[in-house]
Structure 1
Amino acid sequence: MQIKKRCNKQGCREFVEDVSQAYCEEHKGHTNKQYNQFRETYNKEYVSFYKSTAWRKKRKQALRRDEYICRRCKDEFGLITIATLVDHIQPSKIAWELRLDIDNLQAMCDECHAIKTAEDKIKYNL
């Protein structure tokens, strides 16, 4: 079975032919720079956590545990897609004390992470 990766552009459902690339042909050159600048301006503590060595090590540990496969794609759809992100099952904004708990982390592809984030915003009123 060939491993496929989705385009990193939020909402794009296209698959990238070369898994070493981040975006499909339509979204080449796109970045999340503007979003990250917005977050850094308004929540420095939150952003500094995601830049910390502790988070980077825990993130890598979660990706390895899940074999770099998106858990949501695998469990819900039976698809094998490359995980590029690590998600907090209980959002760190809700359960800050669980932010480095490996049992609260799951590997996800961009699209699944965007969907879960939207669901969390509604569920937790974020």
Structure 2
Amino acid sequence: MPQVRRCKYKGCHALVELPAICCDKHKAYEAEYKANREYYSRSYYNKRVRNETEAKRERYSFYKSKMWTSLRKVCLDRDNYLCQYCLAVGIITPNAKTGDHVTPVEIAPELRTDPNNVVAACKRCDNVKRTLEQEIYGTGQGREIKNIKLRLSVADWSRLIFERKNKNENNFSFKNTPRPLGE
């Protein structure tokens, strides 16, 4: 028995044999459907955004390389999988699995393979630091790079990260949060 699926045209429930996407009635829609799938697919993102320029293509391929995989592993082992940003302010956060460049690769590509520029980071610190990097250095998609001479240490980043975390926590409102039963 051949494999079948439903026609992808909205509201049509006719069965079609694979690899067809639409029934005979909606064949004209098939090309549009494929184009939309390509546009929103990861491969489109990789072609148009991630690999948009030669520098971005090189940076992306670096993070898929054996060089980065082994460097990350060496640095995580060196740091005993403890977040170095948390540790700098006296907090022990185990199981930090992100290898983070202290100075972003976009700012200092020459430091991308330097083990002294890679530290273990927990997810929360990594996310806050990425936001700070975008503000300080202008890193990220569609931004203009700035402050390329600025080099911050782990202690500097740690202070900035925890200032931001505390600011975010102080802005949290309990007004709309559910209360425990009995209150």
Does TM-score exceed 0.5, indicating one fold? Answer: yes
The residue that corresponds to 2:108 in the other structure is: 95
Alpha-carbon distance in structure 1 between the residues aligned to 2:132 and 2:65: 26
The residue that corresponds to 1:104 in the other structure is: 117
In the alignment, does 2:99 pair up with 1:86?
yes
Q: Secondary structure at the match of 1:87?
A: strand
Q: Secondary structure at the match of 1:125?
A: coil
Moved over 4 A (4+): none
Instruction: Using the TM superposition, give the Cα deviation of residue 105 of structure 1 relative to its aligned residue in structure 2, in angstroms.
Output: 0.8
TM-score (norm 2): 0.46
TM-score (norm 1): 0.65
Per-residue CA deviations over 1:26-76 (Å, capped at 9, x if unaligned) read xxxxxxxx6xx5563433221100001111111100000000111112222
Matched AA of 1:94: I
Alpha-carbon distance in structure 2 between the residues aligned to 1:125 and 1:41: 19
CA RMSD of aligned residues (A): 2.0
The residue that corresponds to 1:72 in the other structure is: 85
Matched residue pairs, number? 92
Q: Which has the higher contact order (CA 8 A, sep 6+)?
A: 1
Instruction: Using the TM superposition, give the Cα deviation of residue 81 of structure 1 relative to its aligned residue in structure 2, in angstroms.
Output: 2.7
Instruction: Using the TM superposition, give the Cα deviation of residue 106 of structure 1 relative to its aligned residue in structure 2, in angstroms.
Output: 0.7
For structure 2, list consecutive stretches of 5 or more residues without a partner in the other structure.
1-41, 140-183
Tell which structure's C-alpha radius of gyration is larger. Answer: 2
**Identical aligned residues as a percent:** 34
For structure 1, list consecutive stretches of 5 or more residues without a partner in the other structure.
1-33
Q: Secondary structure at the match of 1:76?
A: coil
